[in-house]
Amino acid sequence: MQTGDGSKPGSRLDQWLGSYAARTRGMTASEIRALFAVASRPEVVSLAGGMPNLAALPMDVVGKALSTLVATNGPVALQYGSGQGDPELRRRILDVMAPNRVNAHPDDIVVTTGSQQALDLVTRIFVDPGDVILAEAPSYVGALGVFRSYQADVQHVAMDAEGLIPEALQDKLIALKRAGRRAKLLYTVPNHHNPGGVTLSAERRPRILEIAQRFGVLVLEDDPYGLLGFDGDPLPSIHSYDPDGVIYLGSFSKTFAPGFRVGWAVAPHAVREKLVLASESAILCPSSFSQMAVTSYLENHDWKHQVGVFRELYRERRDAMLQALHDMLPTSSWTNPQGGFYVWVKVPEGLDTKAMLPRAVTARVAYVPGTAFYADGQGRDHMRLSYCYPSPERIREGVRRLAAVIDEELDVQTTFGATPRPDRSGPLVESPGPDLT
Amino acid sequence: MQTGDGSKPGSRLDQWLGSYAARTRGMTASEIRALFAVASRPEVVSLAGGMPNLAALPMDVVGKALSTLVATNGPVALQYGSGQGDPELRRRILDVMAPNRVNAHPDDIVVTTGSQQALDLVTRIFVDPGDVILAEAPSYVGALGVFRSYQADVQHVAMDAEGLIPEALQDKLIALKRAGRRAKLLYTVPNHHNPGGVTLSAERRPRILEIAQRFGVLVLEDDPYGLLGFDGDPLPSIHSYDPDGVIYLGSFSKTFAPGFRVGWAVAPHAVREKLVLASESAILCPSSFSQMAVTSYLENHDWKHQVGVFRELYRERRDAMLQALHDMLPTSSWTNPQGGFYVWVKVPEGLDTKAMLPRAVTARVAYVPGTAFYADGQGRDHMRLSYCYPSPERIREGVRRLAAVIDEELDVQTTFGATPRPDRSGPLVESPGPDLT
């Protein structure tokens, strides 16, 4: 059949080019996407991904729980379920959030297809094109993608080694107000920040919330790593200071397994109702099977002990990463993560992590360039290194390869006359900050 | 902590009322929602839901497949996966679509969290607020909800016993063109329509596509019931006439189990790329576990035979429903479904199915009022009855209760002077049409 305008169907030309929505213009494949296909080859040490390390999971326990689930409750597990999520799982999520002092009722919880879907739904119900969302500088790449897809105006707020800086937040909100604008949301990852590797201090938490409240800004607290701190108890969530001012997002992807895609949002009553309606429109209901699989795991396994096993596994890798950086990257500086998956590295002045990436992949090491974590093109002087997945030996080997690439870049710079000046100031702030290395 | 405007947090007042996006205004809980909570009680015969009947599924086979999956492939099944979906599942989906003559390459397929998510993603990438989407009159309530959430202008096109009427489609497109407007999408459920219970004739399929193409309209072919026809082979999909003019949606919810939330879209190359980006933004990736569970089921079980078992189960219930309607609802007319889950009933003139629903639920029978299936308030003279879930005996009992409610309504009408005129003309068209009963 011929198309109306006579163009030949079957060609790779997009005959629907004139039909896309305005929001779709912002959806473009990342330029580093193709490179990551190469980076997934086994000979490459990937310090790029955020995949949790599932080697420590007791697969026999999981397998047995699932066949029992089907045998005892198959017709429910395989059927449609509630749009808000399975009530039993919502009850159990309360226990999972207790260490982070998120006090809620099961009715306050909406189960989502990973916490990514919660990000999508929150943005969907709050953000009109052009609305301002405040986010840390840098910020989680997946959240920035969601915000862009809803045509939000993302504005970054500076962090330092103690997390988001209250004064910077207040200054930004005052400047917006003076310009006749307001922010709808403050998006923050307070614990073991992705990619920053820092944690918002206890002292700053109520201050951040107070400032947001004063300017009518809803706080979106994204907390996938809250249970993965290496030392001491978790700090109280921002949510704990006022559940009506915060939407708290949690996830089983890092403390159990991402393959079930189970996350959740805790939201003020009226907001929660809208989230459920938005989720029903998006997917009808989250997977009954996935939810009951998680419930069954929480019920039949000592999940707290398992989280402890994960913590030790990641701590060992964090140590290997920091030691390797210390030994082999004397010209760079980096954050000092106390949990989570990531370290945020500032490379010597003049280097460009985005331009350097193809050469790194050729040298069989991959990372994520800093630009991925900004909505405004910043970040060429940074990179995110993940220590969650490779073994300590592979991490060391990866940093060795990375150091060789950086040294070579510096040689080229020297040859062509630019003077590389090692800069060991705080990597998270543009102005001189604390030495974080 | 006090909020900025001095309102008391913790109250049920929505302090974020001024923050919602414009699209959120359209997201309101259905007024029949509360009623359906009541209707889910066991003493009520629900002819309302669209839940597949899973009694016939071999739970032992499913349970065994899942524990084998975890034992042999756990670290992959529990991990993040590809945003487009598992390649092995995409290959197997080709076999599932073969009877409907959807010819595609695994690369053309995007796996989604149920086909509901595919509806959401397609609307997301194509529809700006105010854009026209054409949909059958009546149309699937879940699609209308998605379209509304993207602020689309849904306009209905008439159907009759042979499905969407090509002349009505063309007239609508000409009228839009004259008004300086165009439609972005034509949404259609060609096989065993929900709620219409009719199937688009073979002869009309290429004509519908040709008209859509001529006006630059992309066809969104939603086909969850394509394998559930009771007689003969499925008709060729609209997609089979030109894969570049159609996005085809499929689902495992009706032929296997909805609890895994696995559906898919087959789309032209460039569109497929945008769908993947939109899906990654919405959920990162579909559940690896769910996808591999479906793959494992398709691999280890005679799924075609199982679909045959489902067909016979639904055919028996369809027969019970039509016989009961024939015996007990002489004043109504209805469609004659050759597959799927639903029959579309026109009640006697003057009755209002929406107003009648509370009385029906009191009489322990539930249905969905016709208004749910229109974007424009039509449908008070219709109701959707589902025969998929209850036993034949329960179906008969449900229709008996419904008949009593309708008779009582007619009595009230007679008492108050209105003359109920049985109208047995075609229930799907507003003008006199074929007798479908």
Interface touch A16/B286, C-beta < 8 Å: no
Quote the CA–CA distance of B231 and B271 in Å, as a whole number: 34
* Complex confidence, ipTM: 0.92
A408 to chain B nearest CA, in Å? 34
In chain B, residues under CATH classification 3.40.640.10 are 80-300
Interface touch B282/A16, C-beta < 8 Å: no
Contact A15, A2 (CB under 8 A): no
pLDDT value, residue A428 = 53
In chain B, residues under CATH classification 3.90.1150.10 are 23-55+306-415
Rg over CA atoms, chain A: 23
Tokens representing residue A104 in the block: 């809620």
pLDDT value, residue B6 = 39
Largest CA distance in chain A: 72
Which DSSP string do the residues of B114-177 spell out, in sequence order? Answer: HHHHHHHHHHHHH--TT-EEEEEES--HHHHHHHHHTT-EEEEEEEETTEE-HHHHHHHHHHHH
The amino acid at A353? T
Burial B202-234 (b: 16+ CB within 10 A, else e): eebbbbbbbbbbebbbbbbbbbbbbbbbbeeeb
- In B300-402 the beta strands, taken as DSSP E runs, fall at 333-334, 342-346, 365-366, 368-369, 382-386
Q: Give the B window 5-34 contacts with A, CB below 8 Å.
A: 5, 9-10, 12, 14-24, 27-29
pLDDT tens column, B303-326: 999 999 999 999 999 999 999 999
Quote the CA–CA distance of A151 and A271 in Å, as a whole number: 21
pTM score: 0.92
DSSP H helices, B179-302, are 204-214, 269-283, 288-300
% helix, strand, coil for chain A, step of 5 = 45, 15, 40
Q: 């790029």: which residue's tokens? A: A48
- Which of A16, A154, A386 is the best mutation test for B, with the most CBs of B within 10 A? A16
pLDDT tens column, A276-302: 999 999 999 999 999 999 999 999 899
Q: Is the pLDDT of residue B234 over 90?
A: yes
Q: Is the pLDDT of residue A175 over 60?
A: yes
User: Among A36-40, A110-114, A193-197, B88-92, which stretch is predicted with the lowest mean pLDDT?
Assistant: A36-40
Among A110, A293, A51, A112, which Cα is nearest to B289's? Answer: A293
Please, what is the average pLDDT of chain A? 91
Interface touch A287/B290, C-beta < 8 Å: yes
Q: Is the pLDDT of residue B357 over 80?
A: yes
Quote the CA–CA distance of A281 and B147 in Å, as a whole number: 9
Spell out which residues of chain A touch residue B51, defining contact as CB-CB under 8 Å.
Answer: 79-80
pLDDT value, residue A426 = 42
Closest partner residue to B3 among A114, A213, A258, by Cβ? Answer: A213
Quote the CA–CA distance of B190 and B237 in Å, as a whole number: 8
Among A187, A169, A172, A182, which Cα is nearest to A131's? Answer: A182
Q: Which residues pair with B246 in a beta bridge?
A: B219
Tokens representing residue B229 in the block: 């026809």
Interface touch B77/A269, C-beta < 8 Å: no
pLDDT value, residue B148 = 95
Interface touch A259/B60, C-beta < 8 Å: no
- Which of A12, A60, A113, A116 is the best mutation test for B, with the most CBs of B within 10 A? A113
Quote the CA–CA distance of A168 and A335 in Å, as a whole number: 20
pLDDT value, residue B56 = 86
Q: What percent of chain B has pLDDT over 70?
A: 92
Quote the CA–CA distance of B135 and B164 in Å, as a whole number: 9
Q: Is the pLDDT of residue B430 over 50?
A: no
Quote the CA–CA distance of B332 and B42 in Å, as a whole number: 27
pLDDT value, residue A8 = 44
The amino acid at A248? Y
Closest partner residue to B259 among A66, A79, A184, by Cβ? Answer: A79
Q: Give the B window 288-307 contacts with A, CB below 8 Å.
A: 288-290, 293
pLDDT tens column, A116-152: 999 999 999 999 999 999 999 999 999 999 999 999 9
pLDDT tens column, B380-425: 999 999 999 999 999 999 999 999 999 999 998 888 765 444 444 4
pLDDT value, residue A255 = 95
Burial B51-77 (b: 16+ CB within 10 A, else e): bbbbeebebebbbbbbbebbeebbebb
Spell out which residues of chain B touch residue A259, defining contact as CB-CB under 8 Å.
Answer: 76-81, 287-289
Pick the residue from chain A with its C-alpha nearest to B246. Answer: A16
Quote the CA–CA distance of B150 and B157 in Å, as a whole number: 20
A298 to chain B nearest CA, in Å? 15
Give B31's pLDDT tier (boundaries 50, 70, 90). Answer: low
Q: Give the A window 141-170 contacts with B, CB below 8 Å.
A: 142, 145-146, 149
Among B248, B273, B131, which Cα is nearest to B189's? Answer: B248
Pick the residue from chain A with its C-alpha nearest to B272. Answer: A14
Residues 6+ positions from A417 with CB-CB distance below 8 Å: none
Task: Over range B216-230, report the average pLDDT.
Answer: 98
Q: Is the pLDDT of residue B246 over 70?
A: yes
Which secondary structure element, helix H or strand E, spans residue A334, and what is its range?
A: strand A333-334
Contact A120, A275 (CB under 8 A): no
pLDDT value, residue A321 = 98
pLDDT tens column, A322-371: 999 999 999 999 999 999 999 999 999 999 999 999 999 999 999 999 99
Residues 6+ positions from A242 with CB-CB distance below 8 Å: A209, A213, B1, B9
Spell out which residues of chain B touch residue A145, defining contact as CB-CB under 8 Å.
Answer: 280-281
The topology (CATH level 3) of A22-55+306-415 is: Aspartate Aminotransferase, domain 1 (3.90.1150)
Which secondary structure element, helix H or strand E, spans residue A120, and what is its range?
A: helix A114-126
Q: Is the pLDDT of residue A2 over 70?
A: no
pLDDT value, residue B417 = 63
Interface touch B285/A261, C-beta < 8 Å: yes
Spell out which residues of chain B touch residue A71, defining contact as CB-CB under 8 Å.
Answer: 59-60, 63
Q: Give the B window 227-266 contacts with A, CB below 8 Å.
A: 241-245, 253, 257-261
**Positive or negative, the Cα torsion across B288, B289, B290, B296?**
positive
Please, what is the average pLDDT of chain B? 91
Q: 């999971």: which residue's tokens? A: A57
pLDDT tens column, A243-268: 999 999 999 999 999 999 999 999 99
Given CATH 3.40.50.720, say whether it is the number of domain B23-55+306-415.
no
Quote the CA–CA distance of B148 and B156 in Å, as a whole number: 14
Q: What are phi and psi of B185, to 5 degrees?
A: -135, 150
Torsion of CA A218, A222, A223, A225, to 10 degrees: -150
Q: Give the A window 194-213 contacts with B, CB below 8 Å.
A: 206, 209-210, 213
Task: Over range B60-87, report the average pLDDT.
Answer: 93
In words, the CATH class of domain B80-300 is alpha beta
Q: Which residues pair with B167 in a beta bridge?
A: none
Q: What percent of chain A has pLDDT over 70?
A: 92
Interface touch B71/A57, C-beta < 8 Å: no
Contact B39, B366 (CB under 8 A): yes
User: Among A58-67, B4-13, B97-106, B317-326, which stretch is predicted with the lowest mean pLDDT?
Assistant: B4-13
Task: Over range A235-239, report the average pLDDT.
Answer: 98
Tokens representing residue B333 in the block: 């007319």
pLDDT value, residue A12 = 59
Pick the residue from chain A with its C-alpha nearest to B86. Answer: A259
pLDDT value, residue A37 = 75
Q: Is the pLDDT of residue A49 over 90?
A: no
Spell out which residues of chain B touch residue A70, defining contact as CB-CB under 8 Å.
Answer: 59, 62-63, 66
Query: Is the model more confident about B275 or about B424?
Result: B275
Pick the residue from chain B with its C-alpha nearest to A55. Answer: B75
Q: How many CB pairs under 8 A join A and B?
A: 302
Which DSSP string do the residues of A189-201 spell out, in sequence order? Answer: --SS-TTT-----
Report how far apart, in Å, the C-alpha atoms of A271 and of each of A115, A247, A267, B305, B314 are. Answer: 16, 9, 6, 46, 40
B28 to chain A nearest CA, in Å? 7
Pick the residue from chain A with its C-alpha nearest to B279. Answer: A117
Q: Is the pLDDT of residue A38 over 90?
A: no
Task: Over range B28-33, report the average pLDDT.
Answer: 73
Closest partner residue to A16 among B60, B271, B278, by Cβ? Answer: B271
Which DSSP string do the residues of A380-406 spell out, in sequence order? Answer: TTEEEEE-SSS-HHHHHHHHHHHHHHH
Interface touch A71/B60, C-beta < 8 Å: yes
The amino acid at B287? S
Q: Give the A window 353-392 contacts with B, CB below 8 Å.
A: none
Interface touch B59/A71, C-beta < 8 Å: yes
Give A27's pLDDT tier (boundaries 50, 70, 90). Answer: confident
Residues 6+ positions from B338 with CB-CB distance below 8 Å: B192, B199, B229, B230, B231
